[in-house]
Amino acid sequence: MSQIDRSIEAARNIISHADALLITAGAGMGVDSGLPDFRGNQGFWRAYPPIAKLGISFIEMANPEWFHRDPHLAWAFYGHRLHLYRNTVPHSGYSRLLAIGSKMSYGYFVFTSNVDGQFQKAGFDPQAIEECHGSIHHMQCIKPCRDNIWPGDDVKVTIDETRFKAVVPLPKCPHCSGIARPNILMFGDWSWLSARTDKQRNNFSQWLQQAVDQNANVVIVECGAGEAIATVRYMSENVASRAGGTLIRINPRDHHVPAGHIAIPMGAAEGIAAITEWD
């Protein structure tokens, strides 16, 4: 039996005896659904050739300053992403994890740095998800004129593809009629409103505390969380340490784990299928 086969068998055994599931997910979780992960400038520029021509990196583009300097460019970028995420169908790994977590005594919780809303789209309980970087499906004022976050269900952005510019009308704040922006934590972002995510974080804390207090057997399944921005990886390892649980890290590249935990060197959909085939 190969090392990867032994790891898969160990992961299946851990999951079959767990009674609480924490799913942690980075950008790699959505790649198998066809979403770009913007891994490095070259990956970002392949996804957005017009931005490549401008020589703007992902870190530079994902900055709220563009909504002040050039809101038409900012909304071309975020509007394109909004439409992409709305039209994406979550891969089968989502439903596999949902089915397993729903059967556990203490249920599941999701901690993700993704802003794409794919877990909600796959049927996960919105009250059992923390989106630590916010959501592209919710809006706020760019100023902001007040502490208000609203659903972006009605937001529609038309993009002039030749110039890669959003055309008027741009999304507006319903209170001051200024420009609206997604409620996403961007780089160099001092105006992000965190109230929605703070509430999610409180839900997560309560769920985890209950699991710890009840000595629940917690398993952490981490998917597609890289090392460049290691927020998700840190959370996975911290929860594993606090709850005495086992971390199963699914990642085709950055898959090394602390001693005693399990590495699955696969993509998200393939890795989830491998460790849940017993179900």
236-245 contacts at long range (C-beta below 8 A, 24 or more positions apart): 236/22, 236/24, 239/22, 239/24, 239/208, 242/208, 242/212, 243/20, 243/208, 243/211, 243/212, 243/216, 243/218, 244/218, 245/18, 245/20, 245/22, 245/217, 245/218, 245/219, 245/220
Tell me what pLDDT residue 271 has. 97
The predicted pLDDT at position 278 comes to 61
Share of the chain above pLDDT 90, in %: 86
The size of the chain, in residues, is 279
Query: Which of 33-37, 115-119, 143-147, 220-224 has the lowest average pLDDT?
Result: 33-37
Q: Is the pLDDT of residue 124 over 70?
A: yes
Q: Is residue 218 classed exposed, middle or buried when 0-12, 13-18 and 19+ CB atoms within 10 A define those classes?
A: buried
Of 141 and 42, the structure prediction assigns the larger pLDDT to 141
pLDDT over threshold 70, residue 94: yes
Please tell me the predicted confidence (pLDDT) of residue 230: 86
Q: What is the pLDDT of residues 51-69, one digit of tens each?
A: 988 899 999 999 999 999 9
- What does the pLDDT average to over 172-196? 97
Residue 45 banded pLDDT, cuts 50, 70, 90: confident
Mean of the pLDDT values across residues 133-146?
98
Q: Which of 104, 141, 147, 96 is nearest to 122 (CA)?
A: 96
pTM beyond cutoff 0.85: yes
Question: What does the pLDDT average to over 154-160?
Answer: 96
Mean pLDDT within 105-133? 98
Please give the pLDDT value at position 187.
95
* Domains of the chain with bracketed CATH: 3-276 (3.40.50.1220)
Mean pLDDT of the chain: 95
- Residues 10/18/201/213 CA torsion (nearest 10 deg): -130
- Residue 42: pLDDT band with limits 50, 70, 90: confident
pLDDT surpasses 60 at 163? yes
User: What was the pLDDT predicted at 226?
Assistant: 85
How confident is the model at residue 37, as a pLDDT?
78
pLDDT at residue 125 greater than cutoff 80: yes
pLDDT tens, position by position, 201-246: 999 999 999 999 999 999 999 999 988 878 999 999 999 999 999 9
